[in-house]
Every structure is written in C-alpha cells, then in structure tokens.
Amino acid sequence: GAVVSQHPSWVICKSGTSVKIECRSLDFQATTMFWYRQFPKQSLMLMATSNEGSKATYEQGVEKDKFLINHASLTLSTLTVTSAHPEDSSFYICSARAGAYEQYFGPGTRLTVT
Amino acid sequence: QKEVEQNSGPLSVPEGAIASLNCTYSDRVSQSFFWYRQYSGKSPELIMSIYSNGDKEDGRFTAQLNKASQYVSLLIRDSQPSDSATYLCAVRGFTGGGNKLTFGTGTQLKVEL
C-alpha cells in the first residue's frame, strides 16, 4: 500500500502556544488529504478535507481559525493548532488519497497540551 | 439510524477459527467500501477495499459486498492473536459529502489462544 508519513509522532506543548503537524504522501501524489482527531476509545472524527491548492473544507463544529490547514503541494499538508489548550490534547491523524480510490492513513501525532 | 453500523463487540474467536465482521450502511448510492484495522494507540491501516458485489480475497482476508442488502463483511481465516484489533468499516458515496469516508464505530476482535 501507499505510505503516508507524519511528523512529529508526538509533541508536548504549553497552553497558548501553536503546534504544526506535517503530513506527507511518500510514494504517490495526494489530490485530497484529510485530517482526523481521535480521543481515547472513541471513533475517528473528521476535522477537515483539503485539496491541493484550495482552501480546506472544515466539518461542522471545527474552528477553522484554530486548526489551520495548508495543502501546499500534492505531497504535503500541514495542520497548525493555534493557541492550544489542554482540551486540544488528542491523537491527530492525517490521511491521503490519490484520485478516487483508496485512502491511506499516516501514523498519527499524539499532542499533549500542558 | 447511523450511516454505517457495526457491532462494537468484542468478538472473541479462538486461534485458527474464522472471524466474521459485519457492517451495514444506509446510503444506497455508496460506491466504495473499505476495511481498516486499528491497533490500540495506532492509526488505521487499510486492509481491504471492495467496489462491486461479490467476494474479494486477499490472503487470509475476504471482503463480501451485497449492495442490494446494503451489507459488507470481512472474513478473516485462520485467525491469529496478532489479528486482535478494532476493525473499522468505511463507506464512500456520492451524496452530500461524497468525497469523504464515513466510518463505523468499529468492531473489537479478540483472538484467543
């Protein structure tokens, strides 16, 4: 299967600071990338969908000014959590799709806000 | 009614047995169906995709799709302890947010020695 990488795999930051998470498709060009969040023992929650060169489409209830998404190229998308608070602590997972078919997930980034 | 429904389990099977995981979906125009495996603390891993009615086999895994019944299943033959994980059914269609996957809540599988 295709490979999606994420960096960092875990990060600890102080409340009020911003954190950037990178997502890369390593062996394919991703026309669409997705960002998910998952709290312990809960389902995946889609936060936003982004297409290369376009503004991201956010799911209802997700603050676009807090979770900044940039999909600058066909292999790179970034999620910036701005002014992070402890309630933003979660497992953030990106996913990438080439064309209309299969969608692959990155390994995830565990964010802890202290 | 949830868009994609799965029994949360846990489903316990003995090692070497066949594990049968089931999923139903509500959107009749759904076109693409996927099974992901997620180990605790890890991200989902794609294990099967199926797009047309019938069976699709890949190693120990067989996906089955019945669009008329709006039903998709995953069979795992010769189950191993390493198969113990949560299995997520995902569906993608064309209505509304057709660009994105809709996930079930997952079925926890436990393969016992």
Q: Which DSSP letter does residue B62 get? A: E
Burial class (CB in 10 A: 0-12, 13-18, 19+), B69: exposed
Chains A–B, number of C-beta pairs less than 8 Å apart: 38
- Segment-wise mean pLDDT, segments of 10 residues, chain A, 114 residues: 93 97 94 93 91 89 95 92 97 88 94 97
Instruction: Output the pLDDT for position B2.
Output: 67
Distance (Å, whole) CA B23 – CA B29: 16
Single out the residue of A107, A105, A65 nearest to residue A82, CA to CA: A65
How many CB atoms within 10 Å of residue B42? Answer: 15
Coil, helix or strand for B81? helix
The partner residue sitting opposite A43, judged by closest CB among B45, B100, B106, is: B106
Q: Cα B10 vs. chain centroid, distance in angstroms?
A: 14
B94 within 8 A of B41, measured Cβ to Cβ: no
Contact A44 B34 (CB under 8 A): no
Cα angle value B61/A36/B28 (rounded, 5°): 60
- What pLDDT digit, counting tens, does each position of B26-49 carry? 988 888 999 999 999 999 999 999
> Using an 8 Å Cβ cutoff, are B113 and B81 in contact?
yes
Q: Does A28 touch chain B (CB under 8 A)?
A: no
Confidence category of residue B94, pLDDT binned at 50, 70, 90:
low
Nearest CA to B100 among A72, A71, A44?
A44
Chosen from B2, B100, B102, B105 to mutate, greatest number of chain A CBs within 10 A: B100
Q: Assign A103 to helix, strand or coil.
A: strand
Two structure tokens written together for A50: 């982004």
